[in-house]
Amino acid sequence: MTINLQQELTHICEKYNLKEKAFENFEKLYLENYNEDPDFLNGYKINELKPIFDGYTFGIQHHFFDCNINTRISLYLNNEIEIGHLIPIGYYILEANFEGEIVDDYFVMERTKYLDDINIVSHFQHLNKNIPLEYFKRNHIQYQFVSYLSLSGTLFVSGQYEMAGRFVFRAYVNLHETGSENFEKEFLKKSKNFLKMMKNYLKEKNLI
């Protein structure tokens, strides 16, 4: 039964060429972002890195999010691969539904060339530096989104993972209701990346 299920899920991924699409989309993402931001890879050069297919994960009947297939491409340092040190410095996720339609994708660098100890706290601090000050005023429509964003990070750091997941979900809902056009572009980009990282981590570690 387990083998049949594994074969069926693998067949879905192969049928829609999700592995190939993940590599293609990652290369496109890299080229687009590197031209705008040379530090896109946190100080690393593309020739120092090797992208490796790292498998599929399946989200089924989750009470917060839709069913999906995540195809993961992990980035490793060439010199670390040579000595057998296989700890990724970052990863790219291509998210699709079970009909093979691409739903979303995102890229996360977990290490920098100058600082390896990157964790959720540092991501949170980095995000806070880009929040426009007027968003903290209650009479601004962005206030509620910023509050949800802040609470999700604070609750996560406090070990309240279930509640952190709820506020991640509320932030997504509020962002949809408020409209992306009402947020400063750079802050919106970093907020979405932060929420995506939070959601992915909480789900992968079965914390929600």
CA atoms within 13 A on the CB side of 18: 33
Answer whether residue 116 shows pLDDT above 60. Answer: no
pTM: 0.56
**For residue 117, what are the CA distances in angstroms to 4, 38, 139?**
41, 21, 38
* Residue 82: predicted pLDDT: 60
Q: Comparing 182 with 64, which gets the higher pLDDT?
A: 182
* Residue 191: predicted pLDDT: 92
Contacts of 45 (CB under 8 A, 6+ apart): none
**CA dist., res. 41 & res. 43, Å (int):** 6
Mean pLDDT for all residues in the chain: 85
Answer whether residue 205 shows pLDDT above 60. Answer: yes
Residue among 42, 63, 167 at smallest CA distance from 115: 42
Long-range CB contact pairs, 84-91, < 8 A, 24+ = 88/54, 89/44, 89/49, 90/41, 90/42, 91/54
Answer whether residue 207 shows pLDDT above 80. Answer: no
Helix, strand and coil in the chain, % to nearest 5: 55, 15, 30
- Three-state secondary structure call for residue 98: coil
Answer whether residue 93 shows pLDDT above 60. Answer: yes
Answer whether residue 115 shows pLDDT above 90. Answer: no
Read off the pLDDT of each residue in 169-192 and give the average, rounded to a whole number.
Answer: 93
Answer whether residue 83 shows pLDDT above 90. Answer: no
- Residue 56: strand pairing partners: 71
Q: How many of the other CB atoms lie within 10 Å of CB of 26?
A: 20
φ, ψ of residue 45 in degrees (nearest 5): -100, 150
Answer whether residue 80 shows pLDDT above 90. Answer: no
Q: What confidence category does residue 61 fall into, taking pLDDT thresholds of 50, 70 and 90?
A: low
Q: What confidence category does residue 127 fall into, taking pLDDT thresholds of 50, 70 and 90?
A: confident
Answer whether residue 72 shows pLDDT above 50. Answer: yes
**CA dist., res. 201 & res. 8, Å (int):** 26
Give the whole-number percent of the chain exceeding pLDDT 90: 46
* Residue 52: predicted pLDDT: 93
Answer whether residue 126 shows pLDDT above 50. Answer: yes
Read off the pLDDT of each residue in 59-67 and give the average, rounded to a whole number.
Answer: 74
For residue 172, give both structure tokens.
């997504």
